[in-house]
Structures are given as structure tokens and as C-alpha cells.
């Protein structure tokens, strides 16, 4: 497919030149031309983009693929474990996987790699896995790119899942790309929404693009499996049903010399305080408007009063006032607490992308024109160093 | 040591704004920059060059012809050579197809010990192209590299950032390492090097030069397709509180209590 211009309809008005996020359009002799920058984001197909309907998407020759997609069944979830503990996002994905499987009419299965983590198999059943594919070997004790890719790739070849979901953790975002190229299939990173097309049952994967300025829905029509990494904290955790059972399938694990070309020598846990932003009910966040690192002490006081935790914008992290683990937004953590209080945060789109699904948003900012007020339920224009102490005192 | 760096020219997404009326991205005036994580990748390569005399640093990018500006910047930072992989048939590629083109470029350059790439580009945020290029080249990769601990004869020891700490990984050479901003602080271009950079030729390679089949690259070889893209619907603006600071604070607490967001006070 490609974006083309219908020469008879184009007026040379340059609206497309101004609007294209990639800067792919140029106008020469009153006629628009699509350049190689076009990445088929399809934004220009919206009527407002070209009022004359001169921009169209046309089918070009398409490569024929050998994959028979009808052979692929079931939704797989990569059950990421660290130190024998399941990651929260894997549990969330079992819930989401179950929902998708119900719409397709197939099963949801977990893929578990580890060294004697049999207890997790039962846990995965209880969170809804119909089947657990289990690879048990000392080489799989901790995540190793080569070892995990090798084992899961073999399992995909043999069992042919239709969909493979992984958490968009540092591990899922490492494993996913390697598996996708081995399978010669597509991978959509950091999805925030998944749906099944009711007509052809394909997976519709929605993710933020362009630093959160755009949302894109991605499909993978003729390759299998359809693979996505999904942001932690955006899908609902399913209820755990004690005693629920499923089917265990043991995967063959055999490594030849040269299969594993790296070794994890040591895992060092950060001594820094762990911030559980995703689990927090209340988050009090600070940004550039704090002016200095000490401002976070005041936010901490308010957060403590509300039983919450302290978050931050990227600006505050970049300024060195607070650790990255507190960062909310596109390159930080996605959160959806009941209450999000943004203090001195202007509301860059990247920040909004990470917090706008909070139940209630309160914004405190000196500038009444700050974009944060556009998403706030309650806004206060004022000096946060005056406003926050008053809120603390009003809380009694 | 021979080092190759994969770099990308990207629009500065921090400067992108949404047209409030049309709901489209405002592209005008948005500068094109060297992708930030890629600047860390180049810096690390140059730091190794400083440390190990005789090391060469070659930068490869896939992109439109104007990406040569970004490549000149890399040369002015101190890279030895720069190559641009550019052709209409490379366009519209997803990460799977991009990695095919980049791997072909790397193979044409030939011998290498380490390939550095940025963890992810700010226009796509996928973090996929680095490890996928490694897969295409048949070499191992480590993503999220925050520190190079040691370059050994046959291996490299690196620290890979995790959400709650880091791992120490020893990986065989040749390998791909993807850089995060914690790895280093990129150097500035020097005036002398800027002049040098403009004297150098930047080779531009198309599908013929790379000897790739046009049906294996670009849009036609991309498994994923954009079904649609849209601007995220803004959450409706809420209520601006008014009055003195104590009045606003009291009103806020009252409203949040009323909505059962806060327990009764």
C-alpha cells in the first residue's frame, strides 16, 4: 500500500505539507508529492487533512507470504517471573488474554520459563490460564535473551499460537523483538488497548506514537503469531480462583553449544526506595514548577496525609531532583490512581499519556494556560508552596 | 576495535503540538534531531575510541536524503565514517523490515566488534530495531545498557538496567548493545571537527548498493500495518476553583470528599 495524490483533485493548497507529522509532503507546480518520509501513518486520509479528497491509499504489489494463518490458534501470554515471583503485568495479561480468547473462540495459555518454579503453574491456572507451557531448566532460572528466545521460539514453531502477549517490561521489550524477527512476524510495542476485529478476528493493537501525540492502531494481517508488548498497569487484573486447574504441557529444552552467547553474572537490586506507582491509590506529582528538589518534601507531606506516594514529571527527573523510578508518563510509568494531584506540572503530552486515565485529577499551577488544566477535574491557579500547605491544613 | 553505530534522525517530539481545531499534529517548525538515545550510543563508541587507539567508529542510518545533516553531526562529534541507507523502497518500513535494511548496511561495511544503537527512537518508542538487527546478523544483543564495565578479548561485560536495579552481563563479541541515557553524557561537536565533517563524503546506499531484493525491505516487507491513527481524545476540562488560597484549598477538600475520593473529614 502507499499514499498517492489524485492530480486532478489536488489544488496545491499545502494543507498536507503543514499537517503531515513526518513532513512527507511537498508541493511543486501546484501539485502535492509524497516523499520517502511517508511511514503510512494514515493521518492524511482524514477528510480535514485534504478537503479536496486528493489523498488516497492505494494497494501496491504485496509480498506473498507462505504462512497459512488458519493453522495458528490460541492466545499465549509470556508469564514473566523474577526470583520465582510472577510479574503483575503477566497476571493482567492473563485477564486480557482470556477476554480476547473468548472473542476469538480459543484458549488462553501461559508460557513459563524458569528453574523449578512448578508452584507458578498452579498460580497461572488460578489466574485463568487454560494451559501452561512450561520450560524447566537451570539455564532459564533468570531471564537470558538467547536462552528464552531459543526455547519460546521452538515452542511457537511447534504449537503455533495466534497471538503472543508480553508485558512491556525491560525483559518483555527485549524478548519480543528477538522472537518477532525469528518468527518473521510483526510486533507492536507498548500497547495500551487490544481488541479483536469482529469480522476477521484479527488483533487490533492500539499504542501511543510520536511521544504520545498520536494514537495508532496496528494490525498484523498476514503473519503469525500477532505479537504485542503491553504496558504494565493498563489492563485489569483478573480475580484469582483458588483451586482452578488447567493443562500442563512440558516444553522440551535442549541447548547446543553456541545457542547461549551471554551470561548473567550478577543481578543487583537497587538500594533506592521502590515506588509502587502502579498500585498507588493516590499520587502527588511534582514537575518543573517545584523549582528545586526540596519541593518534593512538601509533596511527600501531602502524599503521606492522603496515604499516597510521590510521582514526578520527566522535567523533575531530568533536573536531578528525584529518581527516575518516580516518573509518570510516556517514558516513565503509566498510572491510574483514584486521585492524581499534579503540582507545578505544565502537562506535556508525554506526561498526560501516563496519567490521564486517573479517576480524579487535580492540577495546581501558576499559569492558568498550562495544558494540565485541560485534563483536570479540579484546577487551582496559584503558588503550590502556598496552596499545598493550605490543603494539608484543610485535611485536618 | 571496529565499532558501528546505528543512528536515526527524528522529529523532536517534545516540540510537537496538536492543532486544537483540526486535531492533527502541527509539524511546522518542528526541528529534526539526532535521536537522543542514539547520541548516547555514539558517545559510548567515541569514548572507546578515545580509550583504545586505532578504533574506528562508523555510523549508519536509514532515512531520507536530509538525514545526511544528522550524519554530519555524528562526524563532527568524532565518528570516522557515515553511511546513509536511502531509497524509496526502504520507506514505510516497520521495525522488522528496517532491521533487514540496517543489517544489509552493516554487512556491507563488513568487519566489526561492537554495534551500538540507541535503545529506542522518540518518534516510535518501540525499542525493537537494535535487537532485531542483531537477530538478522545472527549475533547476540543486550538492550538497556547503562554501563560498559570491561572490554575483554572475546567478550564485553556490561550492566543492563532493570526496573528495580541492574544485571551484569558478559556477552560474546561481536554483539549489539543498545544505549540508554544513563550510559553517558554525549559530547558536543567541535568547530574543527565540524569543518572536517563537511569535507567528508557520506556514502548513500540504495537497494542496489546493498544488494537487497526490493520485496524484502520497506513497506512491502513489513508484517505490521497502521490500521488507523488518531489524536487521543482529550479528557473534558473540569472546574477551575476560585477565591483566596484557603478558600480554594477548602473547596477542593470538600469536593473530593463529596465525590468519595477522600474519606470524610
Residues A251-276, mean pLDDT to the nearest whole number? 86
Percent over 90 (pLDDT), chain A? 67
Give yes or no for A115 touching B (CB within 8 A). Answer: no
Q: Which of A127, A179, A177 is nearest to A149 (CA)?
A: A179
Contacts for A223 with CB less than 8 Å, ≥ 6 apart: A65, A67, A69, A183, A184, A185, A186, B223
Helix H or strand E segment including A390 = helix A384-394
* B237 in Cβ contact with A234 (< 8 Å): no
Give the span between the Cα atoms of A28 and A11, in whole angstroms: 11
Residue A159 pLDDT exceeds 50: yes
* A2-58 carries CATH number 3.30.70.20: yes
Residue A14 pLDDT exceeds 50: yes
CATH C-level class of A282-394? alpha beta
Beta bridge partners of A217: A206, B228
Give the span between the Cα atoms of A85 and A74, in whole angstroms: 25
Give the pLDDT confidence score for residue B175 in this predicted structure: 98
Segment among A37-41, A388-392, B161-165 with least mean pLDDT: A37-41
* A375 in Cβ contact with A340 (< 8 Å): no
Determine whether the interchain pair B128/A353 forms a contact, defined as Cβ–Cβ distance below 8 Å: no
Distance of CA A219 to the CA centre of its chain: 15
Give yes or no for B226 touching A (CB within 8 A). Answer: yes
Interface of B with A in 191-220 (CB under 8 A): 215, 219-220
A8-A20-A196 Cα angle (round to 5): 100
The CATH number corresponding to A69-250 among 3.40.980.10, 3.20.20.70, 3.40.50.620, 3.40.30.10 equals 3.40.50.620
> Which chain B residues contact residue A217 at CB under 8 A?
226-230
Q: Which of B17, B124, B10, B30 is nearest to A210 (CA)?
A: B124
Give yes or no for B143 touching A (CB within 8 A). Answer: yes
Give the pLDDT confidence score for residue A62 in this predicted structure: 44
> Which chain A residues contact residue B68 at CB under 8 A?
none
Cell numbers given for A383: 503558588
> Which chain A residues contact residue B126 at CB under 8 A?
177, 187, 189-190
Q: Helix B68-77 to helix B191-199 angle, to the nearest 10 degrees?
A: 130
Max distance between CA atoms of chain A, in angstroms, equals 72
pLDDT digits (tens, 9 = 90+) for A61-116: 444 455 788 899 999 999 999 999 999 999 999 999 999 999 999 999 999 999 99
> Which chain A residues contact residue B94 at CB under 8 A?
186
> Which chain A residues contact residue B141 at CB under 8 A?
145, 178
Q: How, if at all, do strands A378-381 and A360-365 pair? A: parallel
Residue A6 pLDDT exceeds 70: yes
A29 phi-psi bin (left φ>0, alpha ψ -120 to 50, beta other)? left
- Rounded to 10 degrees, the C-alpha dihedral B87/B91/B93/B97 comes to -10
The CATH number corresponding to B2-221 among 3.40.50.620, 3.40.50.300, 3.30.460.80, 3.30.460.20 equals 3.40.50.620
Give the pLDDT confidence score for residue B84 in this predicted structure: 98
Q: Helix B68-77 to helix B36-51 angle, to the nearest 10 degrees?
A: 30
Going by the DSSP 8-state scheme, the letter that residue A321 receives in this structure is S
Determine whether the interchain pair A216/B228 forms a contact, defined as Cβ–Cβ distance below 8 Å: yes
Cell numbers given for B180: 540508554
Give the pLDDT confidence score for residue A259 in this predicted structure: 95
Helix, strand, coil fractions of chain B, as percent rounded to 5: 35, 30, 35
pLDDT digits (tens, 9 = 90+) for A256-265: 999 999 999 9
Q: How confident is the model at residue A24 (pLDDT cuts 50, 70, 90)?
A: confident
Give the pLDDT confidence score for residue A387 in this predicted structure: 95
Determine whether the interchain pair B162/A267 forms a contact, defined as Cβ–Cβ distance below 8 Å: yes
Give the span between the Cα atoms of B239 and A291, in whole angstroms: 26
Give yes or no for A23 touching B (CB within 8 A). Answer: yes
Residues A285-299, mean pLDDT to the nearest whole number? 95
What ipTM goes with this model? 0.89
Residues A111-124, mean pLDDT to the nearest whole number? 97
Positions in chain B short of pLDDT 70: 14-15, 17-27, 233-237, 263-265
Residue A161 pLDDT exceeds 50: yes
More confident residue, A281 or A66: A281
**pTM value surpassing 0.95:** no
Segment among A11-20, A380-389, B183-192, B230-239 with least mean pLDDT: B230-239
pLDDT digits (tens, 9 = 90+) for A194-203: 999 999 999 9
Place of cell 496538536: B18
Name the segment(s) of chain A with CATH classification 3.40.50.620. 69-250
Cell numbers given for A272: 533506592
Determine whether the interchain pair B223/A209 forms a contact, defined as Cβ–Cβ distance below 8 Å: no
Give the pLDDT confidence score for residue B199 in this predicted structure: 92
Contacts for B208 with CB less than 8 Å, ≥ 6 apart: none
Mutate which: B24, B95, B121, B250, vs A, most A CBs within 10 A: B24
Mutate which: B23, B185, B229, vs A, most A CBs within 10 A: B229
Going by the DSSP 8-state scheme, the letter that residue A325 receives in this structure is G
Give the span between the Cα atoms of B229 and A227, in whole angstroms: 19
Q: Where are the domains of chain B?
A: 2-221, 235-265
Cell numbers given for B26: 502541527
pLDDT digits (tens, 9 = 90+) for A295-333: 999 999 999 999 899 999 999 999 999 998 899 988 788
Determine whether the interchain pair B165/A270 forms a contact, defined as Cβ–Cβ distance below 8 Å: yes
Give the span between the Cα atoms of B194 and B78, in whole angstroms: 9
Beta bridge partners of B248: none
Q: How confident is the model at residue A185 (pLDDT cuts 50, 70, 90)?
A: very high
Amino acid at each position: 500500500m502507499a499514499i498517492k495524490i489524485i492530480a486532478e483533485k489536488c489544488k496545491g493548497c499545502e494543507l498536507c505539507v503543514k499537517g503531515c507529522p513526518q513532513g512527507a509532503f511537498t508541493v511543486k507546480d501546484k501539485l502535492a508529492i509524497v516523499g520517502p518520509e511517508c511511514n503510512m501513518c494514515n493521518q492524511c486520509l482524514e477528510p480535514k487533512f485534504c478537503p479536496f479528497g486528493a489523498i488516497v491509499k492505494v494497494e501496491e504489489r504485496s509480498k506473498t507470504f507462505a504462512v497459512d494463518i488458519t493453522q495458528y490458534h490460541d492466545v499465549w501470554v509470556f508469564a514473566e517471573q523474577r526470583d520465582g515471583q510472577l510479574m503483575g503485568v503477566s497476571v493482567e495479561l492473563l485477564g486480557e488474554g482470556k477476554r480476547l480468547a473468548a472473542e476469538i473462540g480459543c484458549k488462553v495459555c501461559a508460557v513459563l520459563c524458569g528453574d523449578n518454579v512448578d508452584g507458578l503453574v498452579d498460580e497461572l491456572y488460578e489466574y485463568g490460564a487454560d494451559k501452561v507451557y512450561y520450560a524447566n531448566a537451570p539455564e532459564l532460572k533468570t531471564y537470558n535473551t538467547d536462552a528464552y528466545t531459543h526455547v519460546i521460539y521452538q515452542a511457537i514453531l511447534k504449537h503455533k499460537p495466534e497471538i503472543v502477549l508480553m508485558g512491556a517490561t525491560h525483559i518483555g521489550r527485549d524478548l519480543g523483538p528477538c522472537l518477532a524477527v525469528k518468527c518473521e512476524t510483526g510486533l507492536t510495542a507498548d500497547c495500551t488497548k487490544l481488541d479483536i476485529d469482529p469480522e476477521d478476528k484479527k488483533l487490533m493493537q492500539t499504542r501511543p506514537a510520536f511521544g504520545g501525540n498520536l494514537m495508532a492502531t496496528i494490525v498484523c494481517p498476514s503473519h503469525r503469531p500477532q505479537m504485542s508488548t503491553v504496558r504494565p498497569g493498563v489492563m485489569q487484573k483478573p480475580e484469582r480462583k483458588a483451586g482452578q486447574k488447567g493443562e500442563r504441557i512440558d516444553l522440551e529444552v535442549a541447548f547446543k553449544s553456541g545457542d547461549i552467547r551471554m551470561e548473567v553474572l550478577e543481578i543487583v537490586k537497587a538500594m533506592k526506595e521502590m515506588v509502587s506507582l502502579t498500585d498507588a491509590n493516590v499520587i502527588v506529582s511534582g514537575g518543573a514548577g517545584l523549582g528545586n528538589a526540596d519541593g518534593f518534601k512538601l509533596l511527600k507531606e501531602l502524599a503521606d496525609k492522603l496515604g499516597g506516594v510521590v510521582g514526578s514529571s520527566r522535567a523533575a527527573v531530568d533536573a536531578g531532583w528525584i529518581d527516575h523510578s518516580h516518573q509518570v508518563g510516556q517514558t516513565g510509568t503509566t498510572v491510574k490512581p483514584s486521585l492524581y494531584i499534579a503540582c507545578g506540572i505544565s502537562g506535556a503530552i508525554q506526561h498526560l499519556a501516563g496519567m490521564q486515565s486517573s479517576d480524579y485529577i487535580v492540577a495546581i499551577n501558576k499559569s492558568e494556560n498550562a495544558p494540565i488544566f485541560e485534563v483536570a477535574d479540579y484546577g487551582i491557579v496559584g503558588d503550590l508552596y502556598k496552596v499545598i500547605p493550605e490543603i494539608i491544613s484543610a485535611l485536618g | 576495535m571496529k565499532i558501528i553505530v546505528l543512528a536515526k534522525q527524528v522529529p523532536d517530539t517534545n516540540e510537537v503540538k496538536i492543532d486544537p481545531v483540526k486535531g492533527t499534529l502541527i509539524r511546522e517548525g518542528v526541528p529534526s534531531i539526532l535521536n537522543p538515545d542514539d547520541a548516547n550510543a555514539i558517545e559510548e563508541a567515541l569514548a572507546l575510541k578515545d580509550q583504545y587507539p586505532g578504533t574506528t567508529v562508523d555510523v549508519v542510518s536509514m532515512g531520507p536524503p536530509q538525514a545526511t545533516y544528522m550524519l554530519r553531526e555524528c562526524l563532527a562529534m568524532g565518528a570516522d565514517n557515515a553511511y546513509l541507507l536511502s531509497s524509496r523502497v526502504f520507506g514505510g518500513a516497520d521495525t522488522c523490515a528496517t532491521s533487514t535494511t540496517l543489517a544489509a548496511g552493516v554487512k556491507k561495511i563488513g568487519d566489526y566488534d561492537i554495534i551500538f544503537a540507541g535503545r529506542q527512537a522518540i518518534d516510535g518508542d518501540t525499542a525493537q530495531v537494535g535487537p532485531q538487527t542483531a537477530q538478522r546478523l545472527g549475533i547476540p544483543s543486550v538492550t538497556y545498557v547503562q554501563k560498559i564495565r570491561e572490554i575483554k578479548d572475546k567478550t564485553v561485560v556490561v550492566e543492563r538496567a532493570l526496573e528495580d536495579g541492574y544485571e551484569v552481563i558478559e556477552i560474546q563479541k561481536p554483539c549489539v548493545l543498545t544505549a540508554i541515557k544513563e550510559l553517558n553524557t554525549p559530547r558536543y561537536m567541535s568547530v574543527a571537527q565540524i569543518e572536517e565533517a563537511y569535507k567528508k563524503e557520506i556514502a548513500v546506499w540504495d537497494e542496489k548498493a546493498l544488494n537487497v531484493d526490493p520485496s524484502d525491505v520497506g513497506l512491502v516487507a513489513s508484517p505490521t500495518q497502521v490500521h488507523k491513527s488518531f489524536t487521543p481524545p482529550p479528557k473534558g476540562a473540569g472546574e477551575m476553583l476560585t477565591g483566596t488560597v484557603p478558600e480554594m484549598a477548602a473547596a477542593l477538600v470538600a469536593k473530593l470528599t463529596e465525590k468519595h475520593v477522600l474519606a470524610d473529614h
